[in-house]
Each structure stands twice: as C-alpha cells, then as structure tokens.
Amino acid sequence: MLKHCVLLDEKTIAARVDELARAIAQDLPEPTPVLIGLLTGAFVFLADLVRALGRLGIEPQVDLMAVSHYGPLVTSSGLVQLHKDSALDLNGRAVLLVDDILDSGRTLSMVRAHLAARNPRWLRTCVLLDKPSRRQVTISADYVGFEVPDVWMIGYGMDAHGEGRGLPYVASVEAPQRVRT
C-alpha cells in the first residue's frame, strides 16, 4: 500500500454527503432524477449519494459514463476521451452529473456539454472534491463536497495506478510516477 496521509475521514465524508443530498433534494424539480456517475473514481461517492437521496424520498435512476484523460501517466494529456456513454434518454429529465474530483475542469466541462446537448430540463454537477488551484477550464460545480489542496489523492473510490481505491477515507500521496520499461 502506498504511504499516505488521511485528509478526510469516514465520518466527515458521510456527514458532507448527507448535507449535499439535502441541498440537491431541495433543488430538484422532480423526485426521480437521473444521476450519472463518471467511472471509475466516482462510483463510491455516487453510491453513497444515491443512498442519502433515497433516505430523503428521492428515487434516482442511475447510469455510468466512462471518460479518461490521464492515459498511462498521472498528468493530464489534455484530451478527454469518452469510452462509455449514458444509454438513458435525458430529454426533459432532471440530470445530476456526479464526479469524484474537479481539477483541470476539462472532464466536467466536456461531459456537461455532452449531456446538455441531450436536452435535459435541469442539469447540475456535483463533485466530492474541488481542486481550484489546478483549473485550466472555466467551470465550477453546482455542488461541492470539499475544496482540497493540489495533492494526489486516493481512497473513497480514487486510486493511484490501482492502489488505494478501497480505502474508506480520502488520503494524500506523493504523485506516483509510472516506471518506464
């Protein structure tokens, strides 16, 4: 396991997810929204958010999209690639795009524009972590869990080359470097 330092413990994350769910539920124009999570990092956050919304009487339909821009390195290639699109009809629906982290803004901006072109009546974004110091595209999330420093993070669904994804908290690690052969 990578040497790491806990930034956000389980209780802190759980409390904030509940707060986010209450804010989202208050803003939703309907009790049956579509929640679209971005794989792979957002799957734990998405699951917890769906359960928190369910406790508030919201019954979301859930789908997943897969995008990437890191490739084999830990620095962005700058090109966002769509690997798996949502198969749901979003026309006239309330849609919440859920991601683990907003850093450069490229991914959230591209996916948000892609979903907007499918004519939802309400489209908002929710991220667990916001790293504004890394922003390269002008975008902000509608719902933000925590603002975080410019460090590489693992846990709560996020990983560094496959390590740390299952940790129940968010931790910082030194940016892992891929060994070239």
What residues act catalytically?
103
**Dihedral class, residue 92 (left if φ above 0, else alpha if ψ from -120 to 50, else beta):** left
